[in-house]
């Protein structure tokens, strides 16, 4: 944020007066005067796939905290103090809100710091840095750097509507709900009663409702007439109905 000496003096006066009076109007003026600083710092984080408006909102919270926490008697420049607070709030936003799958905090913080380190080393070396070079620059172990880079894949989840390699949505790769799950309770309820039926009736039930054969196919399979199969089925189902009704 660019300011003239006169503007800085005016802001310093407002900061001192606000620290003394906590006047809400002064507070709003100081915040409005430093929104450009928030926007400038938020732009540094845009490449991390967060919406710019969300970053400005998070940075504005940091600015408000800076205004409320600033003590002009300590002799610090407000812009420097506010910048540190705003950046801290932006990093907290990424740490707490940006992860689709939550990673340990130390891993999150290392990953968020690696972005700037990678940029600086890439410019200095003229190529992408190695894990060993990243570890040396950050003071972390190579294992921690690898863990942080791997955790970065959990930072942003892909939409199920995202096209796959052949243009199909990710939903096309998902399984479907097996309708047989809905019948598990019914099967558990019926099984004890089915086991009490004669062997031929149990076989007919199996062929009809498990193997999904027609009555004519069942008749041909076990060597009886289709009418006989129909009568046995009706009798078996009636027995099962009465047995279940008696337990209700």
Same topology between domain 5-97 and domain 182-247: no
Question: Rounded to 5 degrees, what are φ and ψ at 50?
Answer: -90, 145
Q: Does the pLDDT at position 246 exceed 70? A: yes
Class of 182-247 in CATH? mainly alpha
The alpha-helical segments, DSSP class H, found in 98-164 are 105-125, 131-138, 142-151
Find the length of the chain: 248
What is the rounded CA–CA span in Å between residue 83 and residue 127? 30
Which tens digits make up the pLDDT trace of 152-164? 665 555 555 555 5
Mean pLDDT (the chain) is: 82
Query: In Å, what is the CA distance from 40 to each residue of 6, 35, 46, 113?
Result: 22, 9, 11, 18
Per-residue pLDDT, 23: 92
The answer as to CATH 1.10.10.10 being correct for domain 105-154 is: yes
Sketch the domain layout of the chain as residue ranges: 5-97, 105-154, 182-247
What is the rounded CA–CA span in Å between residue 196 and residue 192? 7
Lookup: tokens for 198: 């004669």
Residues 6+ apart with CB under 8 A from 85: 62, 63, 65, 66, 69
Q: Does the pLDDT at position 48 exceed 60? A: no
At which residue do the structure tokens 């096209």 appear?
163
What is the rounded CA–CA span in Å between residue 220 and residue 217? 5
Which tens digits make up the pLDDT trace of 79-97? 999 999 999 888 888 766 6
The fold of the 5-97 domain, in CATH, is 1.20.120
Per DSSP, 48 falls in state G
Residues 6+ apart with CB under 8 A from 92: 58
Which tens digits make up the pLDDT trace of 96-109? 665 555 667 787 77
How much is the average pLDDT of 24-39?
93
């Amino acid at each position: 944020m660019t300011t003239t000496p006169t503007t800085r003096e005016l802001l310093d006066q407002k900061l001192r007066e606000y620290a003394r009076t906590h006047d809400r109007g002064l507070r709003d003026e100081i915040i409005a005067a430093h929104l450009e600083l928030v926007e400038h710092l938020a732009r540094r984080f845009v490449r991390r796939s967060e919406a710019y408006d969300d970053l400005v909102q998070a940075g504005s919270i940091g600015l408000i905290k800076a205004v409320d926490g600033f003590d002009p008697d300590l002799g610090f420049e407000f812009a420097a103090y506010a910048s540190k607070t705003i950046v801290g709030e932006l990093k907290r936003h990424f740490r707490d809100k940006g992860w689709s799958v939550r990673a340990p905090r130390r891993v999150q913080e290392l990953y968020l710091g690696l972005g700037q380190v990678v940029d600086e080393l890439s410019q200095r070396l003229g190529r992408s840095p190695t894990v060993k070079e990243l570890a040396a620059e950050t003071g972390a172990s190579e294992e921690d750097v690898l863990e942080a880079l791997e955790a970065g894949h959990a930072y942003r989840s892909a939409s199920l509507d995202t096209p796959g390699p052949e243009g199909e949505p990710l939903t096309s790769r998902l399984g479907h709900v097996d309708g047989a799950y809905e019948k598990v309770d019914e099967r558990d309820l019926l099984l004890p009663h089915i086991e009490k039926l004669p062997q031929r009736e149990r076989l007919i039930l199996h062929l009809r409702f498990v193997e999904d054969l027609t009555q004519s196919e069942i008749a041909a399979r076990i060597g009886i007439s289709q009418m006989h199969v129909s009568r046995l089925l009706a009798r078996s189902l009636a027995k099962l109905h009465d047995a279940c009704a008696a337990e209700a």
